[in-house]
Amino acid sequence: MSGGAFPQFTSRLAFILVAAGAAVGLGNVWGFTYVAHKNGGAGFMLAYLAALLLIALPAFLSELVIGRIGRASPPRALHNVQQASGGSALDWRIYGWGGVGAALLILSFYMVIAGEAMAYGWTALTGGIKGWTPDAVKSLDQAYKATPVPGLFWGGLFIGVTIVICALDVRRGLERTGKILMPVLFAMLFLMVFYAAQTGDMVAALAFLFDPSDLKLSSGIMMEAMGQAFFTMSVGMGGIMLLGAYMGEEVNMAQAAIWVLIMDLAVAVLAGLIIFPIVYAVDAAVTPGPGLVFITLPTLFVDLPFGGLAAVVFFLLLSFAAITSSIALLAVPVAWLEDRGWSRLRASMVMGLLAYGLSVGSVFSFNVWKDFYPLAAFGFTSETVFELIREGVNNIILPIGGLAFAVIVGWKLPRGQVRTAIDVRSDTVFGLWYFAVRFIVPLAVSAIFVNALVGGD
């Protein structure tokens, strides 16, 4: 802890906004709407809600517990926790280092998508979208990806902003950004939902997401719901652990966690209530796919009143959601280097540039390395670098991290110590959560893991 005391957020609200900022990101808008669309709406919603409550929320809280006991960056927090609990043969720091690596890998593909959102917002702002015929939008997407230049440029801008904010101290950087951008984000979301209700088919969208008469559920859908719940709550790689370490002792972490979950879910649902009314009003038969936000939606904006303005607001909203997540991501490797005596500025620059270097692989995946499948020999015959990184993080690294943290909190730490740290008054609530951490979370993440290994999606 060289250079002053370990930083702390100023209030409970500050923690909630920063953690919600971390949780709310591309996963909520780009990821959620795409998987919900693909998996047929209401059934997926049910599985997603269950996964959030039974798996992601308990896992989120176990990371906060480790952060509160360990009070340091994830590797060192895990080390402190291990020391305090008498230890075991394996050095728990490896999960923290894994988290540092995961943060860099997530950032490396995150900046590619966030960069594209910024580029679209900029195009809509400067050129308007008048000429955005469906073909023009397709070629916008294609032009964006045809050479590495736009991706490297916008990704560089995005990580540059991330580095600058992260380099400020925790209160002036993370905390202030959360306090400013989260309310703005919600305001823009409500504005856009209102717009979608005016211009689109809100009834059809609500029916798609919530009509229980047409539930489609399968093990594949449940797996995707779990993976999405995990990613969207930012659990499994120490990001939440770090925010827990910055959280004041007086904050009730269970209540705070529930607030984060509510805000995270609200943003996903609101994003759905922006995108689906527009989709259903214009062309209900749109084929589901990852192009929903970047190809389908901009195409639809063209035909709507004030579509140009709506596109600007929408892509600005997406960029804001991405930036509050990316600063929380970069904060993990930065805090680790800070624990090792680096200055925050130097740590932010080095780690940000490292993530940028890694992002070259993802940018190239759409052009120079479009047909390069590095692990083809191992059966991954159609996965580019971008897809390998994304799937590797989601299907392997995050589940292993989530499993490790749950096992540490549920099985390795003395129950009394956990109880004191989490500070839940009701025995029943504590008992339910403890049960989830000991049994449900480990079983569920093992299931995601095995499913991914045996070639599920």
Q: Using CB under 6 A as the criterion, which residues of the chain lie in contact with ligand TRP when the complex forms?
A: 22-23, 25-28, 106, 231-232, 234, 237, 239, 325, 328-329
List all residues 6 or more positions away from 362 whose beta carbon is below 8 Å from its beta carbon.
108, 109, 112, 151, 385, 386, 389
* Between 140 and 265, CB nearer to ligand TRP: 265
Distance CA 134, CA 11 (A): 47
* Burial group, residue 350, by CB count within 10 angstroms (0-12, 13-18, 19+): middle
* Between 227 and 442, CB nearer to ligand TRP: 227
CB 140 within 8 A of CB 120: yes
Minimum Å gap between C-beta 98 and ligand TRP is 13
Minimum Å gap between C-beta 203 and ligand TRP is 28
* Between 41 and 402, CB nearer to ligand TRP: 402
* Between 27 and 272, CB nearer to ligand TRP: 27
Q: What are the structure tokens assigned to 115, written together?
A: 């960069």
Distance CA 403, CA 446 (A): 7
Q: What are the structure tokens assigned to 430, written together?
A: 């504590």
* Between 259 and 430, CB nearer to ligand TRP: 259
Minimum Å gap between C-beta 20 and ligand TRP is 10
Distance CA 113, CA 118 (A): 9
* Between 231 and 373, CB nearer to ligand TRP: 231
Minimum Å gap between C-beta 18 and ligand TRP is 10
Of residues 346, 349, 352, the one with CA closest to residue 329:
352
* Between 110 and 195, CB nearer to ligand TRP: 110
Minimum Å gap between C-beta 23 and ligand TRP is 5
| Positive or negative torsion for Cα 255, 260, 264, 267 | positive
* Between 27 and 178, CB nearer to ligand TRP: 27
Minimum Å gap between C-beta 258 and ligand TRP is 17
What is the DSSP track for 54-94?
IIIHHHHHHHHHHHHHH-SSHHHHHHHHHHHTT--SS-THH
Minimum Å gap between C-beta 234 and ligand TRP is 3
CB 283 within 8 A of CB 300: yes
Distance CA 25, CA 372 (A): 29
Write the single-letter amino acid at 279: V
Minimum Å gap between C-beta 319 and ligand TRP is 12
- How long is the chain? 457
Minimum Å gap between C-beta 31 and ligand TRP is 6
Chain position carrying tokens 């400020």: 168
In the chain, % helix, strand, coil (3-state, to 5) comes to 80, 0, 20
* Between 140 and 406, CB nearer to ligand TRP: 406
